[in-house]
Structure 1
Amino acid sequence: MSAATRARLAELVADGPMDLAEANLLIAAEGSQALDMGLALGQVEALADAARAEGVVEVLRAAGFRGATDDYDDPRNSFLHEVLERRRGLPIALATLALAVAARVGAAMAGVGMPGHFVIADLEAPEPVYIDPFGGWRRLELADCAALVERTAGVPFRLEHVAPVSERHILGRTLRNLRGSYLRRRRLDAALWTVELGLIVDPDDGELVREAVVLLAGAGRYGEAEAVGSGFLAVRPADPAAPAIGDALAAVADLRRRMN
């Protein structure tokens, strides 16, 4: 990803309502050298053209978009251009596509970030209609949502779990999914860029700052690690993550002393 595309991501985040398709593709550009953003956006537009007559969910179901059950943890399942090409993805990636198409046709739809699973809500009716893109685009009752939360996250269901979430939240959760996938593969360089982009999306996230300090130090970028951590603590010394950031900075300082 170039400085220009990172700057564009920052613009989208700062300017309020954003095109989730473009935002996801800007993230994907970090991890894929073969990304053709114009082609991918054109594919989204084509789906929107069909959805104007047939409906968002109907078009995406008919086009064969489905949950990636066989290779769930593959990072490609988070990238929109890969989802468009392979017709499968993570719950939040399929939801991102649906929301991007809905925005283009003026359909009222929102993302619902339940613990352990991500669905969408059709807001056209007086009461939200919940839809599970990963589960075959099936309609969910509240009882179904509760069962999903309890099965995937192991926590009791609360009504707040089906509240719509912001586009910023969707980007942050997408990046967390990618970071977990890369860390499980010991791809620390890739995990680092998810943190760097995460801090563009939410610069006030202290836990992300701590992760940035650790991963930058692991990459041998000690000065950057200290600058990121110290800069955050100077502005937000009472942040709940401040003690952990301080510990990470102390570990970096100790490492540098050992190397001299």
Structure 2
Amino acid sequence: MQFNEESRDYEAVTLVEGAIDLMMDLEPGFPAQWVRLQLSKLVKEAEAALMHETNSHLRLEGLIRLFYHDWGFSGDRNQYYAAENACLDKVLERRKGIPVSLGAVFMYIAQHLELPVSGVAFPTQYILRVDWPDAETQFINPFDGEFVSQKTLGAWLKGHKGPLAPWRDSYLTATSHTDVLARWLTVLKSALLREEQYADALRCSDLALLLRPGDPHEIRDRGYIYQQLECSHAAAMDYTYFIEQCPEDPAAELLKLQVKVLSAQTQVLH
């Protein structure tokens, strides 16, 4: 499938609109009009419910209650890695998702309510950042709507990268929509791989590479997908690229063996 990303400026639209565009590329039958209608309904409900609340802090707390309690949005704890948790139409239909999909929907509504909410691709998961002009910055876990402290985020980081992992302030800076969408595609691709939907995973990988051209880790993953699809030559080329770009990576030596096997298979086929 051919994708045309040249004319798209994902920073000029909301994150959720960028995600809709990507979903339309990945799935020709994606119900974009229905998704936009549902989002519009949620915005109108939120505006009606909070129209008399002029205090921004209380307005945010009201939106959190509305989103997670009244509307019933929540993180999917039972099937966290299911592909449907990364697909906007399924998230809006089931009201379940993962941090990036729930966060994108929440942020879309919050910004319509003129709340200072932005998204952060923290190393462990997507989080929301609230920059108050009159108070300290707050952070929200979009998986459950709970506020999280920097101390808690530090504990998440150590649990993810090890007890000696250094803290970087850049971990909490707002992330560009392009980078978040690339990460979103990576999450969806991983879910599709678990479900052995290799053709759909390949479309995710190709689209992610348009957002992050030449990313060696994405190209390595695409090589794995090609291997599952029995495209030995394409898989060997992608693995070779990764080995050349990341020779010190622990996976490089194993992939060298894979390249030999795949090259031998290609010779036999010819």
TM-score category of the 2 structures, normalised to the smaller one: 0.7 to 0.9
Write the distance in 2 (CA, Å) between the matches of 1:110 and 1:33: 29
Q: Secondary structure at the match of 1:119?
A: strand
Write the distance in 1 (CA, Å) between the matches of 2:246 and 2:238: 16
**TM-score scaled by length of structure 1:** 0.78
Write the distance in 1 (CA, Å) between the matches of 2:105 and 2:93: 12
- Aligned amino acid, residue 256 of structure 1: T
2:19 aligned with 1:24, yes or no?
A: yes
Q: Counterpart in 1 of 2:143?
A: 134
- List per-residue Cα deviations over 1:9-59 (Å, max 9, x = no partner): 5543x4533332232233334665653101101211222233446245344
**Which range is displaced more, 54-63 or 81-90?**
54-63
* 1:255–1:102 CA distance, 2 compared to 1 (3 A): farther
Please point out which of 207, 211, 219 is paired with 2:217: 207
2:151 aligned with 1:162, yes or no?
A: no
Q: How far off its partner does 1:159 sit? A: 4.3
* 1:116–1:153 CA distance, 2 compared to 1 (3 A): farther
**Which range is displaced more, 248-257 or 93-102?**
248-257
* 1:37–1:242 CA distance, 2 compared to 1 (3 A): farther
Unaligned runs of 5+ in 2: 51-58
Q: Counterpart in 2 of 1:107?
A: 115
On the 8 A contact 1:78/1:90 being kept in 2, the answer is yes
Counterparts in 2 of 1:45-84, with a 5 A limit? 45-52=40-47, 54=50, 55=59, 56-61=63-68, 62-84=70-92
- Aligned amino acid, residue 158 of structure 1: W
- Aligned amino acid, residue 16 of structure 2: A
On the 8 A contact 1:43/1:84 being kept in 2, the answer is yes
2:94 aligned with 1:86, yes or no?
A: yes
* 1:138–1:239 CA distance, 2 compared to 1 (3 A): same
On the 8 A contact 2:120/2:128 being kept in 1, the answer is yes
On the 8 A contact 1:25/1:79 being kept in 2, the answer is no
Identity of matched residues, %: 18
On the 8 A contact 1:206/1:241 being kept in 2, the answer is no
On the 8 A contact 1:117/1:148 being kept in 2, the answer is no
- List per-residue Cα deviations over 1:227-250 (Å, max 9, x = no partner): 8789xx6xx997447995x95776
2:157 aligned with 1:149, yes or no?
A: yes
Q: Secondary structure at the match of 1:110?
A: strand
Write the distance in 2 (CA, Å) between the matches of 1:118 and 1:93: 9
Q: How far off its partner does 1:71 sit? A: 1.2
Write the distance in 2 (CA, Å) between the matches of 1:16 and 1:241: 34
Q: Counterpart in 2 of 1:196?
A: 206
